[in-house]
Amino acid sequence: MAGDVGGGTEFTAEGVADVLREACEAASLDATGAELLRLGSDAVYRLASLPIIVRIARDPVSCRRWNGPWQWRAG
């Protein structure tokens, strides 16, 4: 489904918050208090615990096009 993320999660503030928590856990980061900065084609969060910005893409293909030198990718 076009509006889904990560195997069926809806691309809403609530849905991407679950993805944020899972990604932060996998990277040993604390998602507590993260601030949602933007929700559009991507969700962008600022972590409260560290000066880190987290980007969650709606479309996995867009992640492949974005190659920031500090980007962490699963798989």
Instruction: Establish if 33 belongs to a structural domain.
Output: yes
pLDDT band with cut points at 50, 70 and 90 for residue 58 = confident
**Minimum mean pLDDT among 18-32, 39-53, 59-73: which range?**
59-73
Instruction: Establish if 8 belongs to a structural domain.
Output: yes
Instruction: Establish if 20 belongs to a structural domain.
Output: yes
H-assigned helices in 27-71: 60-65
The arithmetic mean of pLDDT across residues 27-51, rounded, is: 93
Instruction: Establish if 69 belongs to a structural domain.
Output: no
pTM, two decimals, is 0.69
Tally the domains of the chain.
1
Instruction: Establish if 27 belongs to a structural domain.
Output: yes
**Domain enclosing residue 25, as ranges:** 4-59
Residue 11 near residue 5, CB atoms below 8 Å: yes
Mention every residue, 6+ apart, whose C-beta is less than 8 A from residue 45.
20, 31, 34, 35, 36, 37, 53, 54, 55, 56
The arithmetic mean of pLDDT across residues 23-37, rounded, is: 94
